[in-house]
Amino acid sequence: MERRKFIKNSALATSLALVPNFLKAFEGYIPDTFNNKKLVIIHLKGGNDGLNTIVPVTNDIYYNLRPKIALKKNQTIKITNEIGLHKSLMPLKRFYDQGELSIINNVGYPNPSRSHFTSTDIWNTASDHKNILNSGWIGRYLDNYGHKPYNAIHIDEHLSLALRGTKKNGIATKNAKQLFKSLQESDFNIILSHYDKNHLSEHNLGYLYQTMIDCKSSARYLYENSLSSKLSDNYPKKSTLSNQLRVVGQLINSRIDTTVFYTSLSGFDTHASQVKKQENLLKKYSEAVQSFVYDLKKNNTYKDTLILTFSEFGRRVKQNFSDGTDHGTANQVFLIGNNLKKQGFYNKIPDLKNLDDNGDLIYEIDFRQIYATILDKWLNVNDELILNRSFSQLDFI
């Protein structure tokens, strides 16, 4: 069995495997320092409509192409005389006013895909459209700079491709207690039953053992350290993203040795009846982020945290016949933190007079330029090594 295929198909790569207690004897020392900087990624899954998020409230083209779903000026929060913010994003307006928000417009990549799966894979792997990699950009960060799986955590049951490397993977878990408990009740034979033992080489079997040992070590480390920080009660109830960020807040405030946290909010594929759906989703997003930032500020951990929000693509400029929008191309990226060099709008909003042949927005900034900037200037690592090529960096941090 090829090692790359073995890693990709491993249950450990997509969820948390179970490990027997006898493996504890093989556990090694876990370093207590890695990188003080934290990166929190929020994926708005489905393709958030950027034009109804940052609204060109004086643009006739916008209103002509969206007669039923365009937001009127009095339905937005004023940013400038020409730009309004969706009314559900009042918390982001506060970040904007405090210099803690940078909005990067027209972000995309060459030859954009309108497939959710393909475009998400491109964003998660930092790949070209014609050559999508098997490893994620955070996974390759772990390959080169990580020492334990808990250096990158996806708050979910299944691990995102973004956190899968060629040699190392991050951890997927909904909370530290659940992870720790599941590993105490494990049986190694259950794990081996998922594989054809006749095709498990000695090398892969050793890799499996080591990966499981690392997972169990990480589970104990996360659980024991998270006990020093209680889950906050100041988050909105009944919100998936809020629940995820609540766990991230607990883990960051416990000062654990984790650098990257990955979270998501689904539902942004608004082909029909978009206005109300997006309003509710953006409200959940902004209120969850507001509570998260408050939690970090209260515990003096916000200063070392950068929050990146992206969606796999934007929506078409022209509305469809179902009072919604179809899959588009370029979109905004939000960056939240108090270490931003350029607050507010990093660049101009989309030019609706200059669309591509399909009537879609033209990308201006390659999303990998944002990744390269974060890797080099925030995480202090070699961005070219991780992204497999050089990208011109931006000046937002």
Instruction: Dump pLDDT digits (tens) for 257-278.
Output: 899 999 999 999 999 999 999 9
Judged against a pLDDT cut of 80, whether residue 23 lies above it is answered with: no
What is the distance between the alpha carbons of residues 333 and 24, in angstroms, rounded to a whole number? 43
Q: In this structure, is residue 359 part of a structural domain?
A: yes
Contacts of 230 (CB under 8 A, 6+ apart): 250
Report pLDDT for 186.
54
Name residue 19's amino acid: V
310-358 pLDDT tens trace? 999 999 999 999 999 999 999 999 999 999 999 999 999 999 999 999 9
- For 293-304, give the DSSP string: HHHHHHTT-GGG
Question: Looking at the domain assignment, is residue 380 inside a domain?
Answer: yes
Region 130-134: mean pLDDT is 93
Phi, psi of 260 (to 5 degrees): -120, 135
Q: Is residue 187 part of a domain?
A: yes
What is the pLDDT, as a whole number, of residue 175?
79
Q: Is 92 within the bounds of a domain?
A: yes
Give one DSSP letter per residue of 195-232, joined into a string. S-GGG--HHHHHHHHHHHHHHHHHHHHHHHHHTTSPPP
Which residues span the domain enclosing 88?
3-387
> What pLDDT digit, counting tens, does each position of 198-246 carry?
555 555 555 555 566 666 667 777 777 766 778 888 999 889 999 999 9
Count of the separate structural domains present in the chain: 1
pTM for this predicted structure? 0.86
Residue 43 belongs to domain with CATH number: 3.40.720
pLDDT of 129 above 70: yes
In a domain, residue 343? The reply is yes
Whether residue 395 lies inside any domain: the answer is: no
Residue 321 lies in a domain: yes
Contact status, residue 127 vs residue 121, Cβ threshold 8 Å: yes
Residue 40, domain member (yes or no): yes
